[in-house]
Amino acid sequence: MYSKVASENASPVSLESVMPGVQATRVVVVGLGYVGLPLAVVLAKKFSTIGLDIDVRRIEELNSGHDRTGEVDADRLARSELALAADPAVCPPADFYIITVPTPIDGANRPDLRMVEAASRTVAALLPAAVAEGRVPVVIYESTVYPGVTEDICAPILEAHSGLLCGRDFFLGYSPERINPGDREHTIDKITKVVSGQTPEILDRVAHLYGAITSGGVFRAASIKAAEAAKVIENSQRDINIAFMNEIAQIFAKMDISIWDVLAAARTKWNFLPFGPGLVGGHCIGIDPYYLSHRAEQLGINPRVILSGRGINDSMAGWVAKQIHAARGGKPGSVLMLGLTFKENIPDLRNSKVADLVSALGRLGHGVTVHDPHADADEAMHEYGIPLVADALERTYDMVVLAVPHREYLAMGGAAVRERLNAGGTLADLKGEFGAVADWTL
């Protein structure tokens, strides 16, 4: 399957300014999820770009103008020059192959590199045709990994499945993704892009590619490993800071002090970091620290701070469930859970800690009904076995939990949400959005 999403604006950019004599630049983006699709659409404004995703349903949806991630709207898709493919065999030879597939963890919290390895094999099969056409292809990884994965794990796969030599026939680059789902301010065409390349010449090519699509400029990392490391510490730093907030929230709860009252005072200091407590989910912050700690342990280092933060954040849903249960006097009842996605106003269910909260309340004897206007019901059932109830707001419950402050719930207001409670019911508000209207908050 190979199709075109109708035309938009700019002419292709040539690399002749840095590499005289090469053909017009062609790019293949492998993986069209939260990271790959926005990147491919922006690249297509400047270069001949093919978006490759082996999920045929995903390609069909995009061709119909629907992006299930909500990152690219139908009008932008319709105006894009981006070509779409579900079959790698139809991709023409390219100068750049950018791999943007997910890098999750397994059940033991160890890095699961199977998708990035599979994508490497897919790209490897495409490299000989690019070389035969006289191109010098660069394989760029955007997937989050620990330092060394690109050169020590992916490069041998590319060589073995292409019959080519890395550093002679094709080259490597790494540019960590910085997509924040639902963020309309820090988009790919505005942020600073960290870039790296196997050689100075390749770094120039990678910098030229990304520099052409963002007004935020590029930062040339000292090495591929440095660029890989920058990505994992960006999210690990946030995870550790949120873990501290979750820990002090638990401490202050014992003292009957509101963490939100404490933060309101502390944030008046000019250099106080604006972090807050909460459930830490998603594909980045809740995952990336395990990549770094895995590599540290391989090197014989005990990553105590990283794993301590992860332990606090991973256990937070269970602690919240116990607090809500205690607020009910230890009496099980019916619960309406508002929100299931890992953050507000997006459909992303990856690594949702609200799912853990639902399970923990269930173990305490509560019957939980889940409502979410943004999440996909089939995905919620497939990933967590949790049914989403579309008409859940039409009934009343012993407890209502505002877990994810979607705009729809905030528009209702705390008073209207309280109307979904039975007499003597409890309104729990994890983010403190409803103020004094709530009976319990972090």
> Residues with catalytic annotation?
284
CB within 8 Å of 88: residues ≥ 6 apart: 52, 54, 122, 125, 126
| 3-state SS class at 385 | coil
Place of tokens 């009934």: 395
Of 41, 25, 43, 160, the residue nearest 93 (C-alpha): 25
Q: How far is residue 403's CA from residue 182's CA, in Å, rounded to a whole number?
A: 17
Helix (H) or strand (E) holding 47: none
Read off the amino acid at residue 234: E
d(CA 403, CA 371): 10
Q: How far apart (Å, rounded) are the C-alpha atoms in residues 379 and 249?
A: 32
Tokens 């010449």, residue? Answer: 201
Distance CA 170, CA 128 (A): 9
Q: Which of 147, 153, 117 is nearest to 221 (CA)?
A: 147
